Amino acid sequence: MNLKIVAVIVLFAVAVGAALTFTFTQGGVEYRTFPELTSGSYGGERVKMKVQVTAIESNFNPTIFTAIDIKPEDDTSAPTHGRPLGSGRVIYEGTELPQGFKLHCHATVEGRYDVKRGAFVATHIQTQCPSKYEGQKIPPPPVLPAP
C-alpha cells in the first residue's frame, strides 16, 4: 500500500479519536441546583445551572448577581426533576456579558461552586431568548434557612 494513503488513514483515525475524546470529556457537564451545590455531595466538578437573575450587584468584571434556580422546560410532570430549587450568588468571571443579560433574564451558567467565596463562579454564561420567558410570572425567591 502506498505510504501516503497509510499516512492519511492514520491521521484520519487520530482526528476521529481526538474528536470523540473531546466530546466525551467536555460534553458531560451536569445540570445542578443551588441546594445541590451547597450540600455535601458536590465534589467541585464543572456544572451548569439554569437560573433567573433576581438582582445585579455589579455589571463590571467580575459581574456579580443573585439568581434563583428555574425548572427545566423539558419536564412537564415533575417541575424540578425531583430536585430542590434555591437561590444564591453568582460571580461571572468571563470577558463579556451576553447582550440579553439583564434583571429577570433566564440564563445558563457554567462553572464551579466556590465554598470559600460562598458563590457559584461562572466562566461561561448564555442568556435565553426573551420571547421564551417574557410575560411569565416572576417566582418569589425561595426562603433559605439561616446559616
Residue 146 lies in a domain: no
Residue 137 located in a structural domain:
no
Could you give the maximum distance between any two Cα atoms of the chain, in Å? Answer: 72
Query: Where residue 75 falls among pLDDT bands split at 50, 70, 90?
Result: very low
Buried b (16+ CB within 10 A) or exposed e, 74-98: eeeeeeeeebebbbbbbbbebeebe
Q: How confident is the model at residue 142 (pLDDT cuts 50, 70, 90)?
A: low
41 vs 140: which has the higher pLDDT: 41
Q: Give the list of residues 6+ apart from residue 137 with CB closer than 8 angstroms, or none.
A: none
Query: Is residue 10 in a domain?
Result: yes
Asked if 113 and 30 touch (Cβ cutoff 8 Å), the reply is: no
142 assigned to some structural domain? no
Does residue 124 sit in the same domain as residue 75? yes
Distance from C-alpha of 53 to C-alpha of 106, rounded to nearest angstrom: 7
Please indicate, yes or no, whether residues 1 and 45 belong to a single structural domain of this protein: no
Cβ(9)–Cβ(3) below 8 Å: no
89 in the same domain as 20: no
> Residue 144: pLDDT band by 50, 70, 90 thresholds?
low
CATH number of the domain that residue 105 is part of: 2.40.50.140
Whether residues 42 and 64 share a domain: the answer is yes
CA atoms of 50 and 54, how far apart (whole Å):
13
Does 55 lie in the same domain as 11?
no
For the cut 90, the answer to whether the pLDDT of residue 109 exceeds it is: yes
In this structure, are 96 and 37 located in the same domain? yes
Query: In this structure, is residue 141 part of a structural domain?
Result: no
What residues make up the domain containing 3?
1-29
Share of the chain above pLDDT 70, in %: 75
Is the sign of the CA dihedral 126, 47, 92, 69 positive or negative? positive
Strands 30-31 and 47-58: parallel
The pLDDT tens digits for 57-66 are: 988 888 999 9
Contact 86, 116 (CB under 8 A): no
Looking at the structure of the chain, the number of domains it has is 2
Amino acid at 132: K
pLDDT tops 70 at residue 123:
yes
Q: Let me know whether 66 and 122 are in one domain.
A: yes
pLDDT tier at 92 (50, 70, 90 boundaries)?
A: very high
Same domain assignment for residues 22 and 39: no
Identify whether residues 15 and 45 lie together within a single domain: no
- The three cell numbers locating residue 47: 456544572
Q: How far apart are CA 88 and CA 11, in angstroms?
A: 47
